C-alpha cells in the first residue's frame, strides 16, 4: 500500500471497545491512528510493516533520519526486539508501564521495519501506561511505532483537537481520550556498554532515574533538533512581564493571559504546557512570552521544550 499522501476524512471516536476495535482494524490494514498515551497523543502504526511506518513519516512530514519509538505491552515483548543488559532491565522493571523510553541495541533478527530505527543499530522501546494504547497493543498483538501525533516540528498534542490541528485530513482516525495526564513526552535514556545517557528529559526526573546523575546533560537523540515543539509565532522565555503585543503565559505568582500553575506546581505546569502554547498560537497577539520556570525536577524538561520552541527555525 502506498503511504497516505491522499487527503482522507479523519474520524474522531470517543474511547471505548468499539473505537479500539476500529482502530485495531485500521492498523492491521496498514493505516495510522492517533491514540492517547499518558504523555502526549501518539500516531500509531504497525511497527513490523514498512508501508505502515512509511505512512507515519508521510503524515507527519517527518525527516526519514529521525527514528520512531516502538511501543510494547510488556518487557517480554520488548526483549524480543532489543537487547536488555541488567541496567536496562532494572530500569524497565522499575518504571514500566510508564513515561520512560529505553534506547538499547536492536536484535538483528527482530521483526521491526527498518524505517522505524532509521537504519540505526539501536531501537527506542516504551511500554506505556495509558489504558487506550494498552488496549490497542493487545488488540493488534504486535508492537506499534508511534511518534507524537503532530506535524513535524509543531507543538505536541495533549488533546484530540490538537491532533486535528496539524494532522486532520492526513490520518484515518483519532481516538479521543481527553487530556493526557503528564503532558510532556517520555524521558529517553540510552543504555549501552558505557552506562546510561539522558537523550531527552521528561516526566521521570533524571535524579529519580540515574543515581548518580550523569555528568553530561547533553541531548543526543538525532531527532532533538534545536528548533522543535514550535508555535507558528515568535516565543520569548524567562519573561517577567508581557510586552503590549505578547500573549503572556504565567507561572505561579507571575500571572498572565494564562497561568501554567497558579500554585507553582511543576507537575501541573508540565501537564498544561502544550495546551497553553496552542492557546498562545491561536490568540490574536502576534508573539508569545512565557514566565521563568524553575529548573528543577520536571522543570528541566519544561525548560528543554520551551528553549526549543523559542529557538530560531531551521530551514
Ligand atoms: O512520550 C513519548 O515518547 C511519545 C508518545 C507517543 O509515546 N512519543 C514521542 O515520539 O515523543 P517522538 O517521535 O516525537 O520522539 C521520539 C524521539 C525522537 O527524538 C527520536 O529521535 C528519538 O526518540 N529516538 C528514537 N529512536 C532512537 C534511537 N534508536 N536512538 C536515539 N534516539 C531515538
Ligand atoms: Mg515529537
Q: Are 279 and 148 in the same domain?
A: no
Confidence of residue 312 (pLDDT cuts 50, 70, 90): confident
CA-nearest of 304, 250, 306 to 274 is 306
Q: Are 94 and 155 in the same domain?
A: yes
Ligand 1 pocket, 42 CB below 6 A?
yes
The answer to whether residue 196 is domain-embedded is: yes
Q: Are 107 and 241 in the same domain?
A: no
The answer to whether residue 3 is domain-embedded is: no
CB 20 within 8 A of CB 136: yes
The stretch 107-127 carries a mean pLDDT of: 96
What is the residue whose three cell numbers read 500509531?
44
- The Cα 67–Cα 167 span in angstroms is 19
Confidence of residue 211 (pLDDT cuts 50, 70, 90): low
The stretch 18-43 carries a mean pLDDT of: 98
The contacts of residue 97 (CB under 8 Å, 6+ apart) are 127, 128, 129, 134
- The Cα 143–Cα 46 span in angstroms is 7
Atom of ligand 1 nearest to the CA of 123: 29
| Helix (H) and strand (E) counts in the chain | 9, 14
Instruction: Encode pLDDT of 52-97 as tens digits.
Output: 999 999 999 999 999 999 999 999 999 999 999 999 999 999 999 9
Pick the residue with more confidence: 193 or 283? 283
Look up the pTM and report it: 0.92
CA-nearest of 46, 37, 65, 281 to 172 is 46
The pLDDT score that the predictor gives to residue 194 is 81
The pLDDT score that the predictor gives to residue 226 is 59
Whether 151 has a pLDDT exceeding 80, the answer reads: yes
Q: Which of 139-143, 227-231, 305-309 has the lowest mean pLDDT?
A: 227-231
Q: Are 107 and 148 in the same domain?
A: yes
Cis before 97 (ω within 30): yes
The answer to whether residue 202 is domain-embedded is: yes
The stretch 175-199 carries a mean pLDDT of: 93
CA-nearest of 149, 158, 169, 175 to 278 is 158
Q: Are 282 and 147 in the same domain?
A: no
Separation of CA 67 and ligand 1 centre (Å): 7
Sign of the torsion angle spanned by Cα atoms 313, 59, 185, 198: negative
Kindly report the CATH number assigned to the domain that includes residue 150.
Answer: 3.90.870.10
Residues flanking ion ligand 2, Cβ below 5 Å:
148
Separation of CA 215 and ligand 2 centre (Å): 26
Ligand 1 pocket, 153 CB below 6 A?
no
User: What average pLDDT does the chain have?
Assistant: 92
List phi, psi (to 5°) of 155: -65, 135
Atom of ligand 1 nearest to the CA of 186: 1
Q: Are 167 and 295 in the same domain?
A: no
CA-nearest of 120, 137, 176 to 47 is 137
Q: Are 111 and 147 in the same domain?
A: yes
- The Cα 39–Cα 99 span in angstroms is 7
Q: Are 48 and 173 in the same domain?
A: yes
Q: Are 36 and 180 in the same domain?
A: yes
Residues forming beta bridges with residue 14, ordered by sequence position = 176
Number of domains making up the chain: 2
The pLDDT score that the predictor gives to residue 222 is 47
Atom of ligand 1 nearest to the CA of 122: 29
The answer to whether residue 119 is domain-embedded is: yes
The answer to whether residue 138 is domain-embedded is: yes
List the strands of the sheet with 41-46, edge to edge. 11-14, 173-176, 33-36, 41-46, 144-145, 69-71, 122-126, 100-105, 187-192, 195-200
Sign of the torsion angle spanned by Cα atoms 292, 264, 296, 269: negative
Ligand 1 pocket, 150 CB below 6 A?
no
- The Cα 295–Cα 307 span in angstroms is 12
Domain that holds residue 260: 235-310
CB 134 within 8 A of CB 97: yes
Alpha helices in the chain, H assignment, sequence order: 17-28, 50-60, 75-79, 86-95, 131-140, 160-167, 206-209, 266-282, 299-310
The answer to whether residue 167 is domain-embedded is: yes
- 108-122: burial string, b at 16+ Cβ within 10 Å, e else: eebebbebbbbeeeb
Amino acid at each position: 500500500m502506498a503511504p497516505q499522501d491522499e487527503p482522507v476524512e479523519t474520524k474522531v471516536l470517543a474511547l471505548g471497545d468499539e473505537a479500539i476495535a476500529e482502530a485495531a482494524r485500521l492498523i492491521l490494514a496498514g493505516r495510522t491512528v492517533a491514540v492517547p498515551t499518558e504523555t502526549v497523543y501518539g500516531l500509531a502504526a504497525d511497527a513490523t510493516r514498512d508501508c505502515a511506518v512509511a505512512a507515519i513519516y508521510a503524515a507527519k512530514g517527518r525527516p526519514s533520519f529521525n527514528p520512531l519509538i516502538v511501543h510494547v505491552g510488556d518487557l517480554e515483548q520488548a526483549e524480543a526486539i532489543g537487547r536488555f543488559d541488567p541496567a536496562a532491565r532494572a530500569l524497565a522493571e522499575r518504571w514500566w508501564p510508564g513515561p520512560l523510553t529505553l534506547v538499547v541495541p536492536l536484535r538483528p533478527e527482530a521483526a521491526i521495519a527498518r524505517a522505524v530505527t532509521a537504519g540505526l543499530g539501536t531501537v527506542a522501546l516504551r511500554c506505556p501506561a495509558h489504558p487506550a494504547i494498552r488496549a490497542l497493543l493487545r488488540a493488534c498483538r504486535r508492537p506499534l511505532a508511534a511518534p507524537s501525533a503532530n506535524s513535524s516540528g509543531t507543538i505536541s498534542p495533549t488533546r484530540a483537537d490538537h491532533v486535528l490541528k496539524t494532522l486532520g485530513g492526513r490520518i484515518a482516525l483519532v481516538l479521543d481520550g481527553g487530556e493526557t495526564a503528564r503532558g510532556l513526552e517520555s524521558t529517553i535514556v540510552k543504555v549501552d556498554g558505557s552506562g546510561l545517557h539522558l537523550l531527552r528529559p521528561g516526566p521521570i526526573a533524571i535524579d529519580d532515574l540515574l543515581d548518580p546523575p550523569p555528568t553530561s546533560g547533553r541531548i543526543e537523540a538525532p531527532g532533538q533538533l534545536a528548533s522543535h515543539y514550535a508555535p507558528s509565532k515568535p516565543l520569548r522565555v524567562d519573561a517577567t512581564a508581557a510586552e503590549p503585543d505578547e500573549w503572556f503565559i504565567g507561572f505561579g505568582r507571575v500571572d498572565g493571559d494564562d497561568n501554567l500553575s497558579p500554585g507553582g506546581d511543576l507537575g501541573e505546569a508540565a501537564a498544561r504546557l502544550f495546551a497553553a502554547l496552542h492557546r498562545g498560537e491561536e490568540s490574536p497577539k502576534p508573539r508569545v512570552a512565557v514566565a521563568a520556570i524553575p529548573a528543577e525536577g520536571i522543570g528541566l524538561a519544561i525548560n528543554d521544550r520551551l528553549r526549543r520552541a523559542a529557538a530560531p527555525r531551521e530551514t
